[in-house]
Amino acid sequence: MASFSFNDDDLNRKFGLRSIQAKNVTIVGFGFGYEKRKQIIHGPYEYVIINYDGIEIVADDIAAAGFDLIIIDEANAYKTPTTKRWKTLSHIIKSHEDMWLWMMTGT
């Protein structure tokens, strides 16, 4: 279990924004097998960070975990709806009508 917090005085003063402060964050890294990924996804974490190539391994588990928000960084990796990556994400999103999807890109 990891935790993080940011001093958000500058964000609040300059932009009226506040940072996320969470105590239950985990990152699913490269080299984690299916069982370890599944254990983390169904664990006691508020936030789970996983690389987009690792989503396919545990797509059904992500869909079943009841996340209410998925944030995709590097959305350009999902730009083609015929790719396996997009189809996997689409399967997860369609599994919950009330799930939100935010996609970000710097390109």
Q: Tokens 């990891």, residue? A: 2
User: 0.85 exceeded by the pTM?
Assistant: no
25-67, pLDDT tens digit by residue? 666 665 678 888 888 888 887 788 888 778 888 999 999 988 8
Give Cβ neighbours of residue 81 (< 8 Å, ≥ 6 apart): 87, 90
Share of the chain above pLDDT 90, in %: 15
Rounded-to-integer distance, Cα 71 and Cα 105, Å: 11
Collapsing DSSP to helix, strand or coil, 5 comes out as coil
